[in-house]
Amino acid sequence: MIGVAVRAGLLLVAIAPSAIAQQRDTTTYADAATAELVALARLRHQRQDSLVRDYRALVTTRVDASVGRSRFARLLPLIAHETAARVTWRRPNDLQLEILGVRQRSVFPGIHAEIAYDRPWFVPRALGDSIHLMGLPETAALHPLADGAEHYYRYAISDSVILSLPGRTVRAIGIRVEPKELGASMVAGDMWIDAESADVVRLMVLFLGEYLWDVPGPNATAEDSADTRKGNRWVQRVLTVQADLEYSLHENRYWMPYRQLLVLTVEVDFLIRGALPVRFVTTFRDYEINVTPEFVFHVPADVLGESTRAKTACRDSTEETSFDEEPRCPAGLDRSELRHRFGYHRAGLWASGRWEIAIPPEESLAGYRWRDSLQLGIGEADAERIRETVARLAALAEDLPGEWVGRRRYGLAWDQLADILRFNRVQGVSVGLGYELRPGPDFTALRGIARFGTADRRLTGSLLWRREGPAGALEITAFRSVLEAEPWTAGQSVGNSLNGIFAGHDDADYYLGLGGGVSYNPFVGRFHDTEFAVSFERHRSMLARTGSSLNDALGGSGVLGPNPPVLEGDFVRARIEPRTRFGGVRLRAGIEALAGGQAAGGRVWATARIGFAVAGRTGAVSLKTGHTVGDVIPQLRFRVGGPQTVRGHGYGALVGRGFWSAQLDLAVSRRLLAAPVVFVDAGNTFDARERFDFDDTLIGVGVGLSFLKGWMRFNLAKGLNPSRDVRFDLLFGAPR
């Protein structure tokens, strides 16, 4: 990564050819009021704040990663890492950092992600003429208030807010900033300016540019530059970088850093759908301003250059920059062990000054007394604030040209890998082709998928219009598709396809649906993560049978069981499906009604997955139950048996109006890569008008080998009641 300070002049030179080559509207200011306010803010930016000579403060930085269906949907926390440090700064730009404590939590047992800061990771005062946070992006962006930036940005007053502070009321005026043309590295977003002092009190931006992540070499040809721009565009399709810098007013005089947010979001919508946001939140508190602190640098200034230097807290004859007057290190320890045991200093130069970070021994870091316990997920208030920032900048990105932000207008598209190629007992091998258009408006896409089954020789497909924005996901679809009877089976997935091909098991019941519908899933509010859907469907049975020659060659029968018929007819379907989680408990439920000319019925169901740890081992309990009402409609009834209910028994061994099942998985070891697992299951069907009969309850036990915490798993299961032969299953997304 390049250094935090990148000369703005180099950026101006880099973006000038792009700006000159285009002939779009180059109006700079929306009106005279905007021009006057930007001029005052630019003057203040260039002079910075001469009132602050120095300060001391405590800085806390939280880094967390999570995963979700989209950047706007509910996120599942994966890991959280927090660092506490004492910062001392003096003018013009000297900085000392003393790391006080480090702590971490993760959903992956035994996994420790070491995050070591090899340079200052935050902006200690006001930004300079370039914007660079945590070393990201690779090419620092031109600040909208830098000298000459008005040639490359346009400005417009957007709104204003009143901040009621002790002893003073602050009016902050918002200015929308957008590039006139795409340059090497730029920003788009909003600045809030103190109307009285012209200080920037908040800066919320999205990074964009032709060379965000790589720049052509000094001897690059035109072809090299084109390849570099192409590579940058590809990265921008999946990676978004957003920042939000907030300042707080101290003693009614000094605007000081308060909170700095950097969000890196990897979002994929090709073969798999999901988002992986990584968030860096740095918070400043306990300020002491203009106290003339003592500065004692441990790394001599004469050894500092363009690269950083490190110095252990003991004298090591093998260390290139081990400076004198330190005790000698014990023999036999490598560089990493020395630093963990004795601590070290890291130092370097940056714009108008130098910096140094003191990292104490690992034992000292672990002994720091925190104010509270570290939670894997962030609080509701912080989550809402980050969500609003991400949503605001995402809406801005939708208004920018697609090529600027990596948004493609059309191309091949599939929701999952199995949309290309899948295998089941009603279609055999089937192939699919998907294509997507983004004609507008914001956050919308039109996606069509067509597929052909080799066993039933049937053409199926769907046309989907989706708007997935900050408020929620709205989908309108028309389809002629293979549907599944139960809400938790995964017959259309890669995992079920591979299990059918290799093990000869297809764990779902299918029917053909023809019709259309609409669904909505709010991401905010009281009903967030609750899907509401209504559709008009014509149901037809699918009686084709097929087999797996590969399973036959491996010693199996190669024949997949028959698919049961359904009640055929035209139906209206209505469905409500909420999802939520409380700590380690995941809950999912559903209410569904199906009504047509021949019959009307409904069902309710609920599932819970409860993670736990006992005696140093991790595990999960999975519970399911449900019941149907009204007329007997086969496609609404529940099946017991198979990987989702009772392992060791075939899918649908029991079928009834009501059911229950319980699964217990316990990992024998805590290893992430490959962990042995033991399990026991039980389940049965019932009718609410009859007595429960436990004598015919299905029971199964088995062992498994889980890879990457259940991403892929091999199971050997045996049915005990009634007795069944040992069954092998290849599963994906299994417990543990």
Domains of the chain by residue range:
8-286+363-404, 409-566, 584-736
User: By the 8 A CB rule, do 56 and 85 touch?
Assistant: no
Strands 353-359 and 94-106: parallel
**pLDDT the model gives residue 326:** 55
User: By the 8 A CB rule, do 161 and 192 touch?
Assistant: yes
Checking if the pLDDT of 691 tops 70, the result is no
Where are the extended beta strands (E) located within 251-340? 254-270, 272-289, 309-312
Share of the chain above pLDDT 70, in %: 91
Confidence of residue 717 (pLDDT cuts 50, 70, 90): very high
**pLDDT the model gives residue 212:** 92
User: By the 8 A CB rule, do 238 and 283 touch?
Assistant: no
Checking if the pLDDT of 584 tops 90, the result is no
Mean pLDDT of 352-376: 91
Checking if the pLDDT of 587 tops 80, the result is yes
Written as one string, the DSSP assignment of 235-255 is HHHHEEEEEEEEEEEETTTEE
Residue 565: is the preceding peptide bond cis (ω within 30°)?
no
Residues 18, 181: Cα–Cα separation, whole Å: 7
Q: For 412-433, what is each residue's pLDDT tens digit?
A: 998 888 999 999 999 999 999 9
**Residues whose CB is less than 8 angstroms from the CB of residue 694 and which lie 6 or more positions away in sequence, other chains included:** 684
**pLDDT the model gives residue 14:** 37
Q: For 694-708, what is each residue's pLDDT tens digit?
A: 678 999 999 999 887
Q: For 67-90, what is each residue's pLDDT tens digit?
A: 998 999 988 899 999 999 999 999
**pLDDT the model gives residue 84:** 97
Share of the chain above pLDDT 90, in %: 64
Question: What mean pLDDT is reported for the chain?
Answer: 88
Confidence of residue 675 (pLDDT cuts 50, 70, 90): confident
Checking if the pLDDT of 107 tops 70, the result is yes
**pLDDT the model gives residue 217:** 86
**pLDDT the model gives residue 313:** 72
Q: Tokens 């920059």 identify what position?
A: 321
Question: Domain 584-736 adopts which CATH fold?
Answer: Porin (2.40.160)
Residues 165, 15: Cα–Cα separation, whole Å: 40
Checking if the pLDDT of 131 tops 90, the result is yes
Mean pLDDT of 113-123: 81
Mean pLDDT of 473-495: 95
Cα radius of gyration rounded to whole Å, the chain: 30
Q: For 296-331, what is each residue's pLDDT tens digit?
A: 888 888 888 766 777 777 765 444 444 444 566 776
Checking if the pLDDT of 396 tops 60, the result is yes
Of the two residues 273 and 16, the one the predictor is more confident about is: 273
